[in-house]
Structure 1
Amino acid sequence: MRLCLATASMLLAGPISAQGDEDGTNQLQALRDCRVIQQNEARLACFDAAVDNVIARQDSGDLQVLAKEDVAKTRRGLFGFSLPRIGIFSSDKEDELAVLQSKITGLRRLRSDHWEIEIAEGSVWQATNTPRRFKPEVGDDVELEKAAMSSYWLRVDGAHGVKARRIR
């Protein structure tokens, strides 16, 4: 019984991705329906059947359970890419990530006013037409904010922003 409840609570704790949205919703609804059964044996049998179904779907790859932290990490790593809205990275309650704060892990100066900047999430950004006073260093804090026309503002240690775009 405890195993069934632990599995059910684990499933309810994070977002679910299934082949069809209705399938994932039906899986959770079956677990919710079991909770209202009064008779212990019937409730246990209901939970066993629902959990067996969820485990079978997960083993076959039809159902994925994602931790909220993993979703947030993935969203940070994909910051700067245009993605279709398919509903697996956010819910109605969450706003799309508009500002990303990170650390510079790699730098490459292409020309006097062009830089490639790698951040902790692994993405590489290109800043062009930077002023002479723009001198980023590895380990500096960096903030990326959405701007117009698929570009971004890149700020190093809170200084004035420069235009940047994600290249990798």
Structure 2
Amino acid sequence: MTSPRFGLAVAASLMAMSTAGAASAQATSERPALLNQLVECRSLTESGARLDCYDRATEALDAAERQGEVVVVDRAQVSETRRQLFGFDLPSMPSFITRGETEERLDAIETTLVRASQAGDGKWTFRLANGSTWSQIDSGRVRFRNREGEAVRIRRAALGSYQMVFDGSRAVRVRRQ
């Protein structure tokens, strides 16, 4: 048996997102039906009925989450996902992720170099510790210490482009691969 506090904690502290094929507008503007069922249990005044309702609703939500029909994410996971996706040309986060607050814009990331290699055309490809790969898109010469652990900063630049800076180097225009 699941305690009613568990159900309230799930509803209050986590966001649930349905991935079971609901229409896009519904998924971004309404709560999933399973979460609504859980919240509606609060309206029951008789303790036994309310507890039974919470037990059924939390079991259904838990089962749906285990089967991948509902995905539960917290703000920290959303923030980490934004960091991992930095540099990809994606639409803004859907409203279910930013509900009640403005979307934080990530303007730069800092990480370290794992490996850099130069292609035949003289342009570089950079593999970074955060798992991302970036390719040089300008034709300028790059001067940096090509060794693992070198500090790297990538920032947004004009017109949707990005610039990578190594300690003491000029900015290199790059694109996320």
Same fold (TM over 0.5): yes
Q: Which moved more, 1:75-84 or 1:152-161?
A: 152-161
User: Does the aligned pair in 1 maintain the 2:114–2:149 contact within 8 Å?
Assistant: yes
Structure 1 pair 11–161 and aligned structure 2 pair: CA distance change class (3 A): farther
Alignment partner of 1:35 is 2:45: no
Taking only aligned residues, the RMSD between alpha carbons, in angstroms, comes to 3.0
Secondary structure of the 2:119 match is strand
User: What amino acid is the match of 2:17?
Assistant: S
Shift of 1:89: 8.4
2:139 corresponds to: 129
Partner amino acid, structure 1, of 2:10: M
Residue 152 (structure 1) aligned to one of 162, 166, 169: 162
Pair 1:132–1:53, CA change in 2 (3 A) = closer
Residues paired across the two proteins, number: 167
d(CA) in 2 for partners of 1:53, 1:24? 15
Q: Is the 8 A contact 1:17 1:88 kept in 2?
A: no
Aligned: 1:66 with 2:61: no
Establish whether residue 45 from structure 1 lines up as the match of residue 55 from structure 2: no
Is 138-147 or 49-58 further displaced after alignment? 49-58
Cα deviation digits, residues 22-78 of structure 1 (max 9, x gap)? 663443333233235443212202212322332343344321112433333332222
CA 1:88 to 1:122, structure 2 compared with 1: closer, same or farther past 3 Å? Answer: farther
Q: What secondary structure sits across from 1:149 in the alignment?
A: helix
* Residue pair 2:84, 2:130 contacting (<8 A) in 1 also: yes
* Alignment-derived partner of residue 140 in structure 1: 150
TM-score normalised by the chain length of structure 2: 0.74
**1:6 and 2:6 correspond:** yes
Contact 2:2/2:55 (<8 A) preserved: no
Match of 1:107? Answer: 116
Matches of 2:36 and 2:168 in 1, distance apart?
Answer: 47
Deviation, 1:121, is: 2.1
Whether the 8 Å CA contact 1:90–1:96 is kept in 2: the answer is no
Could you tell me which of 156, 161, 164 is aligned with 2:171?
A: 161
TM-score, with length taken from structure 1: 0.77
**Distance change in 2, residues 1:121/1:11 (3 Å):** farther
Task: Please give the alpha-carbon distance, in whole angstroms, between the structure 1 residues aligned to 2:61 and 2:131.
Answer: 34
Confirm or deny: 8 A CA contact 1:113 1:130 kept in the other structure. Answer: no
Structure 1 residues 135, 88: closer, same or farther in 2, change over 3 A? farther
For residue 88 of structure 1, report the CA deviation from its aligned partner: 7.2
Structure 1 position 145, deviation (Å): 1.2
For 1:106, the aligned partner's letter is: R
Q: Which runs of 5+ in 1 are unaligned?
A: none
Q: In the TM superposition, what is the alpha-carbon distance from 1:101 to its structure 2 partner? A: 1.6
